[in-house]
Structure 1
Amino acid sequence: MNTYYKYVPNVFLAKCTEKHEKGEMIDVTTKYGKENESIVFNLIFEREGFYYYSIVRADGYNMQERAKAKAERYEEWASSAGKKSTEYFNKSNDAVKHIPFGQPILVGHHSEKRHRSDINKSWNAMGKSVELSDKAASHESKAEYWAKRANDINLSMPESIEYYEHKLEVATEYHQGLKSGKYPRSHSYTLTYAKKDVNEAQKNYDLAKKLWGDVE
């Protein structure tokens, strides 16, 4: 059975008991027992009789699709909570609509008990409306966050090679520009931080090629 193995952040390899060829279709089983049909890319390493391959799901599901799905799900929850909030708001108003505005509770009057009961119903309904409104706002905020993530590219995707190659080119050009005086240094650590960015981009680019590039 092939299972998932976390390699680096966002990247899971297929841990296999047998060797596979690039482009081969295999099933990879999650820890919950679900099988995902996947496409084999590169052999990353061997360890204790197991072969670890970079893979992508055959159905195209990736981090971007996951972000889109989460954004849609939070949007649906936000809409549902918003509708319920409005319903409770209307219930709050309906509970006291027969009471004249500013009408005090007539203590000892036959209407006192109903007056207090209706005010409590209105108050409770309004509290529920506010609670659901806050929940809708929270879901909407999360929906916006995941919608922005829907275009993210990371090392779990084959297109990360071009992405990190571009990041490396930009970081290198800026670092060289700081050294030559083309770009001003805003503080004493500007050059140090720029070099760190170059190193990080180089590391990600090399890893992307290892995961998804053509291995000779």
Structure 2
Amino acid sequence: MKQMARLIIIIFILLFPFELVIAQAQPNKAVPPKKTKSEPLELGKSYASLRPEQKLLVDDFIRRYNATTGSKLVPQEAYDGGRLSVRTTFDAVTHALLNAKITDATGKSLGRAIDLVEAVDEVLGEESGVGGDRQFRMYVYLKDNAVDILSRSQEFFRDKDNTVYHGGFPICYRLKNGPPSIQFSISRDHKLSDVDVDYRASGFPKGLVNGHLSAANSDVRAGN
């Protein structure tokens, strides 16, 4: 038995260096990187975090403001210095417009919803003492063909005219899929629009009790 044990030990000593050399000669297997969850979208963070199309709208707004008032505001400083609710509203509405693709009945692309916007007139965040339809929305100048494109779109539908809310903007087009759902409330001359995002369903009777008629309906900070 002792001789057998010595033989096993000798064999192990002889083989072990050989196995070590083989192991060292093998290429290292790449260890796949751990998957990390993508960072959540942080709306209204900063001018630097905006997409090029969003920056163009901010730049144009500040340029027109400076030309009218004689001011010398810098777009980045103006945006970063704005109230949080105004920044999140602008970022959330334009983000939705950027991601809303428009096609006609045959599936032909008509662009994106952001392409219907000529310029920004005003952005309203949280405002005290006013109704929900005067908070968390963006007022824009529309391009000449905007209403025509919306009427041909299979993603948007012509809803009933606004008669109580969105004063001065009776023509209503809503994104079919939602909530969240983009709403264009348009003036009768088709030149201006009140644009907001509804985060709560508008149908009856759910819309009466789920907060759709409250200001929080269009406040991206109010829910998930």
Same fold (TM over 0.5): no
Higher helix share: 1
Query: Normalised by the size of structure 2, how large is the TM-score?
Result: 0.22
Determine which structure has greater relative contact order: mean sequence separation of CA pairs < 8 Å that are 6+ residues apart, divided by chain length: 1
